[in-house]
Amino acid sequence: MNQGLMLKAAIELWPATLLCGLLLAAAEAALAYVIPTFQAQWSQSVTQIGFLQDFVSAMLGVKVADQLGPEAFTAFPWVHPVVLSLVWAHALLCCTQIPVGEVDRGTADVTMTLPVTRWGLLASHSVVWIASGMIVLGMGLAGNVFGGRYVEAALRPDGQRVVIVLANLFCLYLAVGAFSWLVSASSNRRGMALTVVFVVLLTSFLLNFLAQFWELADRLSFLSVLYYYRPLFVLRDGAVPWGDVGVLLATAATLWIAAGVVFSRRDICTI
Amino acid sequence: MSIIETESLCRHYGPRRGVEAVSLQVPEGSLFGFLGPNGAGKTTTIRVMVGLLRPSAGTARIFGLDCWRDSRAIKNELGYMPGDLRLMAWLDGARALRIWGKVRGRDLLPYGRELAERFQLDLRTKVRNMSRGMRQKLGLILAMAHKPRILILDEPTVTLDPLMQAEVQALLRQWAAAGHTVFFSSHTLGEVEQLCDRVAMIRQGRLVADESLDTLRRRAGHEVTLRWRDAGAAPHDVPAFLQLSQRQETVWQGMLSGPVDELVRWLADKPLDDLAIGRPDLETLFHQYYAPEQREP
């Protein structure tokens, strides 16, 4: 790892980190406050209307008909599409910075002729990516805690369980980021790389969503990255989802190594 | 001793040719000019040298190390300025020198400031506010600030004004005198002629010359201009050792491929008004090498 490259990466990433962090904090604060406030009304409606029940199940990624307790509502701020979009957007921005971002804007010739190996370049940027991801999720947690201060204590989720959810979300963030690195390492145009990752993530989200309505999607849902992120179970049971975390971390590590191998072997071509 | 060496270097872009069987030897401490028209393969050769491209076949070595496998070790002692230089918009000169210094593990600011003063560049100006010439100067400073043993410059003076070009040339001469090697790719033949002691020319991906400028000139023969006394005085036959590029009634111009005394003997009984013989300049040599290419469709 190289301090100079880490400094460069940090300078380039701080605006996106700050923006995503602030937006995530605001979204979490709003959701943590709004959703429990209307919990009583919602639970009545959900138990009475079948479609809404399915919709909530799809959002949470689990069948909630028989499990619709307060935890289901406290899980919403961690699975809401706005929240996931912000987390993924940050991972995408960070992990397509090199090499595809540099190749696309033409600065690769300067950066990649510095005395650092390609693996060193990837590792330096990855450290900054992981650190900035922690900052973004930390800001999200702060927003969640802040929003939760204004609801009844009984409706607030257990702090320790929220931290486990956050750790699970961070593993999801790492898996998405590592996939972005791999696509970035294989591309010459940043727009194309962003599109590919976005389409895969959207497919993954839809698969997880449709799994609650469609049997075929249900059978394939293990292919969705969201299959391994179920905050409802964590908030209800308080158990660490070691299996899910393990799958996400293994996926992240495999994809990151694949990205490094592709990057270290590829040509940097601007012609 | 050759500090840069390529042997049968090939690089293809799919079915498209990049360079083909390029064998180059750049002596240590030389000012080496690398010439060729657009698309001839200059930049491809350079990109292989700096480890951005992997050769399709053949080898490229710097300091005896493989340019792809040992790229990191090479780049410690190499400065490079790309032809199409792009820098991050948020950078300014001082910040760039600090970051580059951290990457290289040495303080680049003192010599960087000295270079900036010489190039009249304000290191506080952000790249986004710089003209092309200013960015070029910053690129040169970043390539030179760590005083590398080898400096690879791809069209380094193309956007600089003539005064600044002269300043850069003077600096590069100083560097070569101090034992640094400068590999200089350019379209500006006059500049290469003034600066370089050795040149290589590349044409359609293949090396067509790699020699000292003097040898190249000697090999090319002499440029000859013959001015006849009056119209109709010119001989009807042209000797085999004279290749004319221009034949008017009173003036002949061309290249002498044989010894000068042979020409003098042949002219002894001819009605000659004036005679000029000299070694060709680089531009003439360049045109000689590329004339067949220019005739191709």
Report how far apart, in Å, the C-alpha atoms of B293 and of each of A255, A271, B45 are: 48, 22, 20
What pLDDT does residue A17 have?
97
Residue A135 clears pLDDT 90, i.e. is over it: yes
Shortest alpha-carbon distance between residue A266 and chain B (Å): 8
DSSP β-ladder status, B222-228 and B272-278: antiparallel
For B200-226, the pLDDT digits (tens) are: 989 889 998 888 888 877 777 788 999
What pLDDT does residue A42 have?
63
| A269·B103 Cβ contact <8 A | no
**Residue B131 · residue A36 · CB < 8 Å:** no
Confidence band of B187 (pLDDT split at 50, 70, 90): confident
Return the closest-CA partner of residue B141 out of B174, B161, B102, B168.
B168
Which residues neighbour A65 within 8 Å (Cβ) at sequence distance 6 or greater? A53, A57
| B90·A12 Cβ contact <8 A | yes
Confidence band of B246 (pLDDT split at 50, 70, 90): confident
Structural element, H or E, at residue B11: strand B2-13
Residue B292 clears pLDDT 70, i.e. is over it: no
Residue B291 clears pLDDT 70, i.e. is over it: no
DSSP β-ladder status, B206-212 and B198-203: antiparallel
Chain A 99-118, CB below 8 Å of chain B: which residues? 105-110, 112-117
Torsion of CA B264, B268, B273, B276, to 10 degrees: 0
Residues of chain B contacting residue A99, judged by C-beta atoms under 8 Å apart = none
* SS3 assignment, position B91: coil
**How many residues are recorded in chain B?**
297
Displacement of CA A241 from its chain's centroid (Å): 16
**Interface with A, mutate which of B69, B103, B106, B135 (most A CBs under 10 A):** B103
DSSP β-ladder status, B222-228 and B78-81: unpaired
Shortest alpha-carbon distance between residue A118 and chain B (Å): 9
The residue of chain B nearest to residue A118, with distances taken between CA atoms, is B72
B76 touching chain A per CB within 8 A: yes
Which residue type sits at A26?
Answer: A
Which residue from B73, B86, B142 is facing A105, i.e. has the nearest CB?
A: B86
Return the closest-CA partner of residue B17 out of B208, B144, B274, B206.
B206
Mean pLDDT throughout B224-229? 92
Q: What angle do CA A112, A113, A118 make, to 5 degrees?
A: 45
Beta sheet of B242-247, edge-to-edge order: B242-247, B251-256, B222-228, B272-278
Q: How far apart are CA A69 and CA B107, in angstroms?
A: 61
Kindly provide the ipTM of the predicted complex, given to two decimals.
Answer: 0.85
Mean pLDDT throughout A150-158? 83
Burial A214-224 (b: 16+ CB within 10 A, else e): eeebeeebeeb
Residues of chain A contacting residue B90, judged by C-beta atoms under 8 Å apart = 11-12
DSSP annotation of B281 reads: P
Q: What angle do CA B248, B254, B259 make, to 5 degrees?
A: 135
Neighbours of B268 (CB within 10 A): 8
| B86·A112 Cβ contact <8 A | no
What pLDDT does residue A134 have?
97
Residues of chain B contacting residue A270, judged by C-beta atoms under 8 Å apart = 84
DSSP annotation of B15 reads: T
Displacement of CA B38 from its chain's centroid (Å): 13
Which residue from B47, B75, B87 is facing A114, i.e. has the nearest CB?
A: B75
For A8-61, the pLDDT digits (tens) are: 999 999 999 999 999 999 999 999 988 877 766 665 666 666 666 676 777 776
B51 touching chain A per CB within 8 A: yes
A1 touching chain B per CB within 8 A: no
Start-to-end CA span in chain B (Å): 41
Q: What angle do CA A165, A196, A189 make, to 5 degrees?
A: 125
| A115·B90 Cβ contact <8 A | no
Residue with tokens 């593990």: B105
For B124-141, the pLDDT digits (tens) are: 999 999 999 999 999 999
Ranked by mean pLDDT, which of A43-47, A62-66, B48-52 comes out on top? B48-52
For A203-261, the pLDDT digits (tens) are: 998 998 888 788 888 899 899 999 999 898 888 888 899 999 999 999 999 999 999 99
| B101·A4 Cβ contact <8 A | yes
**Residue A250 · residue A92 · CB < 8 Å:** no
In DSSP notation, B189-256 reads: HHHHHHH-SEEEEEETTEEEEEEEHHHHHHHH-EEEEEEESSTT-S-SS--TTEEEEEE-SSEEEEEE
What pLDDT does residue B230 have?
85
The alpha-carbon radius of gyration of chain B (Å, integer) is 23
Residue with tokens 């506080």: B124
Between these two residues, A121 and B223, which has the higher pLDDT value? Answer: A121
Residue B296 clears pLDDT 70, i.e. is over it: no
**Interface with A, mutate which of B86, B87, B104 (most A CBs under 10 A):** B86
The residue of chain B nearest to residue A12, with distances taken between CA atoms, is B90
Structural element, H or E, at residue B186: strand B181-186
Q: How far apart are CA B65 and CA A195, in angstroms?
A: 40
Mean pLDDT, chain A, rounded, equals 89
What pLDDT does residue A51 have?
65
